[in-house]
Amino acid sequence: MDVSLSHLRALSAVARHASFSRAAGELGVTQPAVSMQVRQLEDTVGQALLERVGKRAFPTRAGEILLAHAARAFHEIDTAVERVQALRGVVAGRVRVGTSNSLSIYILPPFLRRFRSRYPATELVVVTGNAPEIARAVVENELDVGIVSLPVRERELAVTPLFDDELVAIAPPLPRWRRLRVIGPEALARESLILFEPGGTVRRVIDGWFRRAGAAPTRPMELGNTEAIKKLVEAGLGLSVTSWFSVKSDVRRRLLAAMRLQPALVRKIGIVRRRDKPSTPALAAFHAGLEQLRASLTR
């Protein structure tokens, strides 16, 4: 049975997006072309591979089985191409990275820019999510590397520390707050607070800090976006607790005031990867770049 790789990639794209039009956009072809490729693949295997529900499309059981095997085939082909490129001294291939929104905004862009500049033949795929989601995706081999808050509990993962993230209290840039260098949980809990939504690692760390002191904020505002929180604090609607790296430029520009927490509150950021994942030239180069990033952040 002759199965075309282009047909498999079309099926994979439709299943990933649940949409023929979005799959066409990803593949750079027309929607009718994607529909034709999927139909030809269904004719080849003699099974319906997608179930259409309204404007959305989902894999059938046959489609799920075929896609699971196809994913392994794509990985082997990509690895082979990377190794052939390496014979020519070219670092090429795809690196799939998962991280948090805040790290993707404030820490990683300069590093990713340098990596792409040095290895232009590589393809970087960056997705964001919370630490448990990213760790699980690395375990399932949906991602190659995770840069997340620690700890992670999956035994399949190898963990390398990246840097310590100090959390600070932030306030409007008023003289009262600019004069205050340090603040504790009891004093902070008495203020109107704007905190991250429950469920994320940062919120759990903050809640634990208050709880250990026997303090509890009264009905804080809750948002899921660091930039939105900073804007509300700047507008004088409350105080917050967030990573120093996400606010240091705002503090230097006097858009916000920052206070050290007492006791200090630090979360550890680390790099996670599967212990048994074979290395590729692109992955090896990416990990080497992360080691340089670790050294610079430590300094």
| pLDDT for residue 86 | 66
| pLDDT for residue 87 | 62
| pLDDT for residue 109 | 96
pLDDT in tens, the chain (299 residues): 678 888 998 999 999 889 999 898 888 889 999 999 999 999 999 999 999 888 899 999 999 999 888 888 887 777 777 677 666 666 778 899 999 999 999 999 999 999 999 999 898 999 998 899 999 999 988 899 999 999 998 999 999 999 999 999 999 999 999 999 999 999 999 999 999 998 888 899 999 999 999 999 988 999 989 999 999 999 999 999 999 999 999 999 999 999 999 999 999 999 999 999 888 889 999 999 999 999 998 87
Query: Which pairing describes strands 157-171 and 240-243: parallel, antiparallel, or unpaired?
Result: antiparallel
| pLDDT for residue 264 | 97
Same fold, 5-75 and 90-163+275-298: no
| pLDDT for residue 273 | 96
266, HSE (Cβ side, Cα atoms, 13 Å): 7
Give the CATH fold of the 90-163+275-298 domain.
D-Maltodextrin-Binding Protein; domain 2 (3.40.190)
| pLDDT for residue 208 | 95
Give the CATH fold of the 164-267 domain.
D-Maltodextrin-Binding Protein; domain 2 (3.40.190)
Judge if pTM exceeds 0.85.
no
Per the listing, tokens 């079309």 go with 10
Domain regions of the chain by residue span? 5-75, 90-163+275-298, 164-267
Domain 5-75 belongs to what architecture? Orthogonal Bundle (1.10)
| pLDDT for residue 234 | 97
**Cβ atoms of residues 141 and 278 within 8 Å:** no
| pLDDT for residue 95 | 93
